[in-house]
Amino acid sequence: MLLWVWFWVFVAALLPLAVTVLIVHVAPLTDHARELLDRIHPERKQRAQGQPVERLAADLHRLAVHIDTIERSQEMHRMAKLRAASLAYDYVLLSACRTLEVEVPESTPLHPAERLQTEAALAQAGLVW
């Protein structure tokens, strides 16, 4: 009986961690699965999926303002925060590329020159943020 109690306490303690890990890693896994399907079936037309364009534009604007705020701050761990915000910005940029069917850069995190080219391509596709 006591063993079962400890078992359920252990499960209850790990369940929030497992759910968090699952939520964080589901989006990249679906992106990888979609890319794999596109490689296996090149004739398959890639449909515009994902978030609405307005949401992507709002997220890009919010993250750009956040990055600017971090760059101007004198906070502790400033570089770690800047790195995290830049990765989030790159992720939204790539999502916008897939949604608007703009060529997606191969590597992440994006090099500053790649980021600029991607932003220009999205702007040419009509995205304003």
Question: Is 44 domain-assigned?
Answer: no
Does some domain include residue 64? Answer: yes
Residues 6 or more apart whose CB falls under 8 angstroms from that of 92 comprise 56, 59, 60, 63
> Does residue 16 fall inside a structural domain?
no
Q: What is the pLDDT of residue 48?
A: 44
Query: What pLDDT shows up at residue 34?
Result: 74
Residue-number span of the structural domain to which 111 is assigned: 51-129
Tokens describing residue 118: 């991607």
| Residue 37 covered by a domain | no
92 lies in some domain = yes
Q: Is the pLDDT of residue 86 over 80?
A: yes
CA distance 88 to 106: 16
Residue 32 in any domain: the answer is: no
Please give the tally of structural domains in the chain: 1
22-31, 85-94, 110-119: least confidently modelled range: 22-31
pTM score, whole prediction: 0.61
66 falls within a domain: yes
The residue with tokens 């906070």 is: 75
For residue 10, the model assigns a pLDDT of 81
Residue 58 lies in a domain: yes
Q: Please write the tens of the pLDDT for every residue from 36-68.
A: 777 787 665 444 456 789 999 999 999 999 999
Cβ neighbours, 10 Å, residue 105? 18
